[in-house]
Structure 1
């Protein structure tokens, strides 16, 4: 869908914290403020409206979100766009350079999940769940496996496909899923990243599966959290 870019430019952000030529220091100038990197996370599967970004980040105020969006736009990490009629609403989208941050976000997440301090009972956004599939996927377990899986997360739809040892995830409903999961993100965690069989998780009543349940159960075995540090 074609979108119209909003061309107004904010002034470049002032240097805030570091006097250091290292690229890591410069990266922290761009995304080191609280919420900035999580805003990028929420945009990694495509443009989102202001309310959608805020909905995925409990505790983030509208005022702070506005400030962070302005800073990320000024740094060239995201842009504002207007969807064509009939939607005609403003959305925020990562620039090509902004999308280049995905490996950083994923690697940082995998690294942090090794900490015993990780608490899977805390709120977990819908985008975070779909990105966690990428993060925790073990391609060596998927040899010969293929399937398409829909995810109904509240009113939002997502999809995941596995073929030839590769996993892709996307926003929007799939036309031809082999199985469909329905529930809120935290309900998926015991089946996808723990040791609880899918059938047992479904019996708890917070997660539903329709379609090829056996294939869905096999799908869940392709993911695993990294080992905790000693």
Structure 2
């Protein structure tokens, strides 16, 4: 575990950056917003990070009270990392950073990695209300817990139960939403997002 570096400035923004300003830390938070993750899963979904850096950042996050490490009960018996309540408080920070970064996203470059669930936070910014939403993309499925205050914000794969709404879209549409060029209700009206389901969220999206 590396000693924490500090800007040594009596400023809350500087203090926050002392904790989360290192490269990869906020992206690890993004991944852990999906709930408990194994080290190998984190490494697979953070292309470009070295094993040493990832291990070091996770230890730093444990030290700083952002994440915890625990062993799953049998038959899993694997160690997982998960956010603490303090770590979950970074969700609005990541959402604000993502909204600010929409103008920087541009078109996908040939060297850009992509995971389907990286569209989870941009889609969450475009959804209101509460409920479980399943998202289907050619690149993979994931689900969103819209309006949740506890537990995972999103997760890989199909929804664990019948969702309140199911969204089917392509990567171009998801990217347009992520860039801030297309609002979710507008995409629904334009037929670029197909909405199915009988929940309140589905009905509100179809009627928006």
Q: TM-score, normalised on structure 2?
A: 0.70
RMSD over aligned Cα atoms: 3.7
Mapped to 2, the partners of 1:99 and 1:147 lie a distance apart of 19
Mapped to 2, the partners of 1:28 and 1:150 lie a distance apart of 34
**2:118 paired residue among 128, 132, 135:** 128
Mapped to 1, the partners of 2:58 and 2:4 lie a distance apart of 17
Equivalence map 1:144-223=2 (5 Å): 149-152=133-136, 158-160=142-144, 170-171=154-155, 173-177=159-163, 179=166, 181=168, 186-189=171-174, 192=177, 194=181, 219=205
Mapped to 1, the partners of 2:8 and 2:73 lie a distance apart of 43
Mapped to 1, the partners of 2:206 and 2:175 lie a distance apart of 10
The CA deviation at 1:108 is: 1.4
SS of 1:133's partner is helix
Structure 1's 181 and 71: CA in aligned 2 closer, same or farther, altered over 3 A?
same
Equivalence map 1:82-101=2 (5 Å): 82-101=71-90
Give the gaps of 5 or more residues in structure 2. Answer: none
Equivalence map 1:2-151=2 (5 Å): 14-113=3-102, 115=103, 117-121=104-108, 122-137=112-127, 139=128, 149-151=133-135
**Could you say which structure has the larger radius of gyration?**
1
Mapped to 1, the partners of 2:4 and 2:169 lie a distance apart of 45
Contact 1:46 1:93 in 2 (8 A): yes
Structure 1's 102 and 161: CA in aligned 2 closer, same or farther, altered over 3 A?
closer
Structure 1's 152 and 54: CA in aligned 2 closer, same or farther, altered over 3 A?
farther
Q: TM-score, normalised on structure 1?
A: 0.65
Number of corresponding residues: 190
